[in-house]
Structure 1
Amino acid sequence: MQSVDVAIVGGGMVGLALACGLEGSGLRVAVLEQQAPEALDPQAPPALRVSAINGASEKLLTRLGVWPTILQRASCYHGMEVWDSDSFGRIAFDDNSFGFSHLGYIIENAVIHQALWQQAQQCNDVTLLAPAQMQQVAWGENEAFLTLKDGNMLTARLVVGADGANSWLRQQADIPLTFWDYRHHALVATIRSAEPHGAVARQVFHGDGILAFLPLNDPHLCSIVWSLPPLEAERLQQADEAAFNQALSVAFDMRLGLCQLESERQVFPLTGRYARQFAAHRLALLGDAAHTIHPLAGQGVNLGFMDAAELMHELRRLHAGGKDIGQHLYLRRYERSRKHSAALMLAGMQSFRELFAGQHPAKKLLRDVGLKLADTLPGVKPQLIRQAMGLNDLPDWLR
């Protein structure tokens, strides 16, 4: 039986960030992951799953020592533009106006995952167990007992659930979950546009859909996330290429000219989730295991990285002070901080999504006026930029 201080169940981006962040703290860490990531082909076209990494996550990944590696396949963006189709509502940002060198990066999830995995492999205090599948967990007074499907056993003073939206650990701990169907599916693909994107991230609200174009390194390539009612998403996924290209170009108001599909199309259901507890006796939840949000602001993985930043700092502090890192009493500080941040983000996204849903004339006028005022009133844009860059949600130690 192996004994560790922290067992992280789930070796995705957020779980690995926590593991790397605990290196040198004196805590022994094990990461249990079902499958090790495959080696990346540097010549392969961009993967479909990408994330918009904001300034806060960039600071964390820099501290963890993985940013130079990630940067080799990262696409920087310098502007953002949001508008309501067929109306005057529009807001635009650029980095220069606010004294920033950039607003963020569009990065393939696999690139971030691979960099963190390689970093964790080099950590003396971290053991990567893959493939490892959970069979059973028992919560003891002083430690938790983990049984794997291959018969191996593990004890840990703290178990961290970083095992995704359908978290097995969260279910085993009987932590209630508030969830709601966004009544949208996300269609993702890579698109080639006739006109260059100019390193600007763009998003348009049209009818019942939300369409985001995220700029990649190639000046004519974008990753799209098209949030649509389920039947419409399925129809567009099955449509022939010419029909899809036409529908996409029209929905995007021909902003970048004619658009051509460059990849397969994948569709994912969108569900909002919020765990009633982010911590319990010998357990902490982070990332998608604790919360999932609508991708319209691209904040999902950034929220998860800030969970990891907060928890690694808290565990280091507790361990240095000789405290029991698995006591719920001590984990409450992490829980309060991250529940608050997640609740604010979820509420904000839900309000935004409700406001931009449908074509009711009064609602349309309200959102158009709102966008126009946000674009022109002094003092509003700097706050929105700071929020988008995650600078309002930065743990003190990362500032």
Structure 2
Amino acid sequence: MFILLSVTVVAYIADIGAWQFVEQHRHAYFDKMQVWDYTGLSYAKYNARDADKEVLGCVVENKVLLSSLLSRVQETDLLKKIYPSRLNSMSILPNSSSSEVDSTLSMTALFTHGRLAKLELEDGNGLYAKLVVGADGGKSRVRELAGFRTTGWNYSQNAIICTVEHDVENHCAWQRFLPSGPLALLPIGDKFSNIVWTMSPKESSEFKSITEDNFLKAVNRALDYGYGPHPTPSILGSSDLFSWLKGGISKSANDCFEIPPKVIKLASERMAFPLSLRHANDYVSKRVALIGDAAHTVHPLAGQGVNLGFGDASTLSSVISEGIAVGADIGEVSLLKKYEADRKPANVMMMAVLDGFQKAYSVDFGPLNILRAAAFHGAHHISPLKKSIISYASGEMRLPLFA
């Protein structure tokens, strides 16, 4: 499985010293992106140069990213121990009513006084910690044991993911919105790309089991003339309509609609997984903090899930560092709430935007199609808007409400 990293996340991974390990394996930067839908009414195209950047992002294999982060942990001089075992139980006691706990007390005594969390693993090992970070995914065991409640729903959609091969190199991220859901084609280096195709559970079952030949034909059809025509000059008329906006209009031959490269071969097995939206009502409690998919899962249509997770990790590490600097207890809710106050509004807003996109493109209705075309038109032609969209997607700016 491959994931799309924003330039801000790439910079963060480099800052913590893990990107050097990613670079030893297959990864692919991309400098342009094209988004359109099946109606053929309009499209949007983004180039890195539109925001004075060299690249828009990088696509990396999930297992490469995980092993790179682990390699970075292992090469540090920090005291560490890795327990490859499932978490069986977790106990967190409230603070003792006593004024101060003697630092010479045993781990058990500290736990009894509410200064530590106690974790028991399936292999029989027991651990004590000032802070437990639940970074264990959408089915988080930490979240479950700590009693965090969640809000959300399952989409009636599955995503098929696989790797495909072209006869030419691909340096563009492509996404077409189809009646059943978006189809994304993401470059992963050389002549290979990764596909994330959202569709109904019934369709996913069919596309997972059909022959390779028929699957490739279906992909190429979906990326070309299938379901509807190529976008033509906007029905909204001349882009001069928007010339009064500051920054003028983006005009370039390179902004013309392009057809994605043909897929000629399947380079991996096809996998399917159900899609859902889930959000923890709280991110923190005493001695526990949730980050990434343990705190929130989103629709993959913009590839933002992992980027939100790294945003959580960055903010939480900063809060912990600040707490240590002033001698605070890093497991206290009052400190951890600073992390939640920073990340929760930003994550909720991004989740709402992605869910809105999912719903807006799930309906084929004339007036709504025209509104979508207008949105594409503005995102493609208005330079300030285009730069802002790129900045939001790259993680350099937050949505205006939280800037």
TM-score (norm 2): 0.83
- The answer to whether structure 1 residue 61 and structure 2 residue 61 are counterparts is no
TM-aligned CA deviation for residue 393 of structure 1: 4.7
Q: 1:271 aligns with which of 276, 286, 289?
A: 276
1:192 deviation in Å? 1.6
Query: Displacement of 1:194 after TM fit?
Result: 4.1
Match of 1:37 in 2: none
Q: Is contact 2:346-2:398 (8 Å) kept? A: yes
Alpha-carbon offset, residue 86 of structure 1: 3.5
Unaligned runs of 5+ residues in structure 2 are 94-113, 226-258
- Is the CA contact 2:50–2:387 (under 8 Å) kept in the aligned structure 1? no
Matched, 1:142 2:115: yes
Moved more, 203-212 or 121-130: 121-130
How far does residue 95 in structure 1 lie from its aligned partner after superposition?
A: 1.0
For 1:176 and 1:354, how far apart are their aligned partners in 2? 25
Q: How many residues align?
A: 344
Question: Letter of the aligned partner of 1:81 in structure 2?
Answer: Q
| Alignment counterpart, residue 299 of structure 1, candidates 295, 304, 315 | 304
Once residues 268 and 38 of structure 2 are traced to their aligned partners in structure 1, the CA distance between those partners, rounded to angstroms, is 26
Determine if the alignment matches structure 1 residue 217 to structure 2 residue 169.
no
Aligned partners of 1:372 and 1:128: how far apart in 2? 53
2:157 maps to what in 1? 184
Residue matched to 2:63: 110
Give the corresponding residue for 2:365. Answer: 360
Matched residue type, 2:164: I
The 1-side partners of 2:262 and 2:286 are apart by 55
Would the aligned equivalents of 1:120 and 1:126 in 2 still touch at CA under 8 Å? no
Q: Structure 1 213/363 Cα, relative in aligned 2: closer, same or farther at 3 Å? A: same
Q: Is 2:155–2:275's contact at 8 Å kept on the other side of the alignment?
A: yes
1:208–1:358: 8 Å Cα contact kept in structure 2? Answer: no
What's the CA shift for 1:353? Answer: 1.1
Residues in 1 aligned to 2:356 and 2:264: alpha-carbon distance in whole angstroms:
31
The 3 A distance-change label for structure 1 pair 363 and 195 is farther
- Which of 199, 204, 208 in structure 2 is aligned with 1:237? 208
Q: 1 CA distance for matches of 2:79 and 2:58?
A: 28
Cα offset for 1:88? 2.3
Asked if 1 retains the 8 angstrom alpha-carbon contact of 2:298 and 2:354, the reply is yes
Q: 8 Å contact 1:120–1:128 — kept in the other structure?
A: no
CA distance in 1, matches of 2:83, 2:309: 22
Q: Provide, for residues 214-260 of structure 1, a one-character-per-residue CA deviation record: whole Å limited to 9, x for no partner.
A: 01211x31101001111111110011112111111111116323543
Give the Cα separation in 1 of the matches to 2:168 and 2:362: 29
Taking the TM superposition and a 5 Å limit, the aligned residue runs for 1:15-30 are: none
For residues 76 and 347 of structure 2, the distance between their equivalents in structure 1, rounded to whole angstroms, comes to 30
Deviation at 1:329, TM superposition (A): 1.2
Structure 1 unaligned regions, length at least 5? 1-48, 395-399
CA distance in 1, matches of 2:40, 2:362: 14
Alignment partner of 1:180: what SS?
strand
Sequence identity of aligned pairs in percent? 33
Q: Which has the larger Rg?
A: 2
Q: Answer whether contact 1:275 1:290 (CA < 8 A) is retained.
A: yes
Distance apart, 1:122 and its partner CA: 1.8
